[in-house]
Amino acid sequence: MPINDSEPNGTASLTAPSGKFIAVTPSDATVFGNVPRALWVGGAGAVAAVAADDSTNTVVTFGAIPAGTVLPIRPKQVMAATTATLIIALY
């Protein structure tokens, strides 16, 4: 049976609950096809990321992220220098 989505036009606002989530493998080569709303960090550490709207591809490192944190950033890339683990992209 199909699942009904109450969001108009099948789109959700950035503040709506996540309807899709994908495990993230930090990589210097992989760029997200779609920009996530946020990242869930399951294992403590640092997240090195490039912002979705950054045309210069500057890597910014968010340090000392505790386990179980929803990091409210919209990255286009999570870099290999990331030390946090169990990262999930929330869409």
Give bridge partners of residue 63 from the DSSP assignment: none
Check pLDDT > 60 for residue 32.
yes
84 lies in a domain?
yes
50 lies in a domain?
yes
Check pLDDT > 90 for residue 88.
yes
Percent share of the chain, pLDDT over 90? 79
Question: How many domains would you assign to the chain?
Answer: 1
Q: What is the mean pLDDT of residues 15-33?
A: 93
14 lies in a domain?
no
7 lies in a domain?
no
55 lies in a domain?
yes
The whole-number pLDDT of residue 17 equals 86
5 lies in a domain?
no
57 lies in a domain?
yes
Domain range enclosing 76: 19-90
2 lies in a domain?
no
Amino acid at residue number 10: G
- Among 4-13, 20-29, 63-72, 76-85, whose mean pLDDT is lowest? 4-13
Check pLDDT > 60 for residue 9.
no
Q: pTM for the whole thing?
A: 0.85
User: What is the C-alpha separation between 47 and 69, in angstroms, rounded?
Assistant: 11
Query: How many alpha carbons fall within 13 Å on the CB side of residue 84?
Result: 29
DSSP characters over 59-84: EEEEEEEPTTEEE---EEEE-TT---
The whole-number pLDDT of residue 5 equals 43
